[in-house]
Structure 1
Amino acid sequence: MINAVKSKIIPILFLTIILAYMFFNFQGLSSFLATSDSDNIESVRKSIENAAVQCYALEGHYPPSIDYLKENYSIITNEDAYIYHYEVEASNIMPTILVFKKWKE
């Protein structure tokens, strides 16, 4: 009788452990992917900022637009994945650079 109970409990316990592991592993994966997205956005924003600073160092003014950076400093943008906000106040003041991930449905 005890062996019959053990033979039923062990597979159920094993299955429960596997399902719990998969659940918590999935939570970790989704957390990792969310962190990865924010890291990518910051990396894209930083590359635009670095190109703007390089332009200022070489030309004595910040670039008037992201298009200027694309044409003269080899910046590549992905308008399908990101929204870019580049606002210039003056040629000697660092522009406001924001990058947002586009919402996909």
Structure 2
Amino acid sequence: MEEITLKKKENLISGILGFMIPTIILVVVVGVFFTGVAQISQSTINKQEESLHTAIARDIVQCYSIEGIYPPSLEYLEEHYALVYDKDIFFVDYRPIASNIYPDVTILRTEKSFVGNNP
């Protein structure tokens, strides 16, 4: 009788371990996957920000070299120099100083770019 009880306990323990180990492995794999996706997403946003800095600076200089004045607004760059960026992710503060002085440009990430990621 004791043998049957011991075998039942052993079967119960091996059944629980047989369920728990694959579940733990699955949770770890899923966690590693989502961590990797978050890091790739953050890296992509960083590269987009660098590209936006480069594009704005290039368009400002191009406008000055063609027209002889710096662009009066960011909208002017969008209309005449085909500047395109994701306004949900980046806020661009464009402050012209004078027509012959390089404008002050600040690029900030919005809160939407930090969803699920650390800033």
Q: Note the residue ranges of structure 2 that are not aligned, 5 or more in a row.
A: 1-6
What secondary structure sits across from 1:97 in the alignment?
Answer: strand
2:72 matched to 1:64?
yes
Quick one: structure 1 residues 29 and 90, their matched pair in 2 at CA, closer, same or farther if it must change by over 3 Å?
Answer: same
Q: TM-score, normalised by structure 2?
A: 0.64
| Percent of aligned pairs sharing the same letter | 27
1:3-24 per-position Cα deviation (integer Å, ceiling 9, x unaligned): 8355542432121111111112
The 1:37/1:78 distance shift into structure 2, 3 A limit, reads: closer
How many residues of Structure 1 are paired with residues of Structure 2 in the alignment?
104
Letter in 2 for 1:13: I
The alignment status of 1:37 with 2:45, answered yes or no, reads: yes
> Gapped runs of 5+ residues in structure 1?
none
Q: Which has the higher contact order (CA 8 A, sep 6+)?
A: 1
2:39 aligned with 1:20 = no
CA RMSD of the aligned region, Å? 2.8
